[in-house]
Amino acid sequence: MRIGELAARAGTTTRTLRYYETRGLLPARRGGNGYRTYDEDDLKLLRQIRTLQDFGFDLEETRPFVECLRAGHEEGDTCPASIGVYRRKLDELDSLIGELQAVRAKIGARLALVDGTDPMCELGGHEQ
């Protein structure tokens, strides 16, 4: 398939595909006519990238998943490098959750001071 068809099927733009190509995430194959050509495996790569980005992974964090797929694995998250990225992302999320819980507690405490209410009831939360 050509770049426009791939972009449409992947729900992205041709500009994005060219960018992924420059970053080495999407192969740059050319047909005899000079046009870029893609196949179903390329669509699978793009879907993996988009899913991970929807989950909050930055583009470079998707690279091990793409490389895993290119190596012939059925899923992009079955290789050790991909699993390592998952672990790092979970650690990052756990840290952010902790920070948010601390901020929430401070805001709840401040609200209790100024409003005289139970901050856990007022904000709809529960203590951890």
pLDDT average, residue stretch 102-106:
96
Does the reported pTM lie above 0.75?
yes
pLDDT at 125: 57
pLDDT average, residue stretch 96-111:
95
Angstrom distances, CA of residue 23 to CA of 17, 75, 100, 106: 10, 21, 33, 42
Answer yes or no: is pLDDT of 119 > 70: no
d(CA 22, CA 45): 15
Q: Which of 34-38, 59-63, 76-80 has the lowest mean pLDDT?
A: 34-38
